[in-house]
Structure 1
């Protein structure tokens, strides 16, 4: 069983404290390549989250049967099996999106964070905890991919939710928001290209660091205030 305290701790650690993208700086290739739009970034992030949840649970379930010298090959085999299932499912049911994401679906196998969490967490914890950790790590990455993709899409193309019809069908084309009139053919190419991804990610990393510093400062002030109150009461 998994307790509510464990759920909160694992979720906070995965989504914020050890976010795979803006803290551990892992998986940079798909992060920079597939965040041209909100839909692309979110889709790849959710695909990675599903793989991490499945592989984490399977690794935790089988860890006692795997010899230490074979851990990495077996873990990679489990991850590859999960990615293959996802790849075939997307090809069958989300073929248009599958074509857009292309090689980055199979490349989830080589994403450092997937194997790293299998080795660092799933190989030492229970099935429920490992499944949750894998999923929340993926969700943490998805949030960053979605924010970065949305910002690049807005600034670079003047739209939001472009390509949503790849997921929900042709009827969803009306969901696309044109923040800049479509007849202007607006495009800020620098933001759409990889340099824009590097700069955007840098701002997100800096923003998280700034928020962490503010939170630490607020916590220190609260501790100092509490300590001062205790001294006054003791006196």
Structure 2
């Protein structure tokens, strides 16, 4: 089973990364990556929802009929989103005000529903829970990376207002990388989101192609 969980982790974090490989969840990706902190907060909220929803669907999959599965999945995701939304409003209110409408919109995010349909509805509870965790973490890494690039190029900072998400003890993460006057406004506007996401998708695919060629050459030498 270790190999199985290793495969689940690799799929979620890299091979089938929701943003960089499957290109799902583009709405929050474009809207909430104006800074690394926003991307991290949105990604972690989505990861919690995905893990909890995956575990619940796997638990009750034998009782969910084919005809009503999609409404049931949406209801489960909506319930988890409501819990996350209320929790963030209570304990991380400043960040909650920044993320705003996009927390409830996790319900309509294609990524959680896609994983419930393709994985959790067919697999046991623990693998489904792991799939939700790693798919969510992969989503978080992608959003944080996009947000970091856009924030550095657009505002000259990195993890601005991180203390709102992680607490005052993490204020050391708030770094000014370059003078404010050197920032390019376009990078924190919608065109910047598309540009950075596109370059990261291309970069991932180039790494995958290079890795595949290296494996083939290694196999040929072994033969």
Structure 1 length as normaliser, TM-score?
0.91
Instruction: Tell me whether 1:224 sits opposite 2:220 in the alignment.
Output: yes
Aligned equivalent of 1:116, options 102, 114, 122 = 114
Distance 1:84 1:221, change over 3 A: same
RMSD: 1.3
Structure 2 length as normaliser, TM-score?
0.96
Q: Which residue of 2 is the match for residue 39 of structure 1?
A: 37
Q: How many residues align?
A: 223
How far residue 187 of structure 1 moved from its aligned partner, in angstroms, is 3.2
CA–CA separation in structure 2 for the residues paired with 1:127 and 1:61: 6
CA–CA separation in structure 2 for the residues paired with 1:78 and 1:179: 42
Unaligned runs of 5+ residues in structure 1 are: 228-235
Mapping for residues 1-235 of structure 1, pairs under 5 Å:
3-169=1-167, 172-173=170-171, 175-181=173-179, 185-227=181-223
Unaligned runs of 5+ residues in structure 2 are: none
Distance 1:175 1:217, change over 3 A: closer
* Partner-residue secondary structure (3-state), 2:22: coil
Deviation per residue, 1:13-53 (Å, 9 max, x gap): 11111111011101111001110111100110011011000
Q: Which residue of 2 is the match for residue 230 of structure 1?
A: none
How far residue 180 of structure 1 moved from its aligned partner, in angstroms, is 2.3
CA–CA separation in structure 2 for the residues paired with 1:138 and 1:150: 18
Distance 1:60 1:171, change over 3 A: closer
CA–CA separation in structure 2 for the residues paired with 1:180 and 1:201: 22
How far residue 168 of structure 1 moved from its aligned partner, in angstroms, is 3.7
Which protein shows a greater Rg? 1
* Partner-residue secondary structure (3-state), 1:23: coil
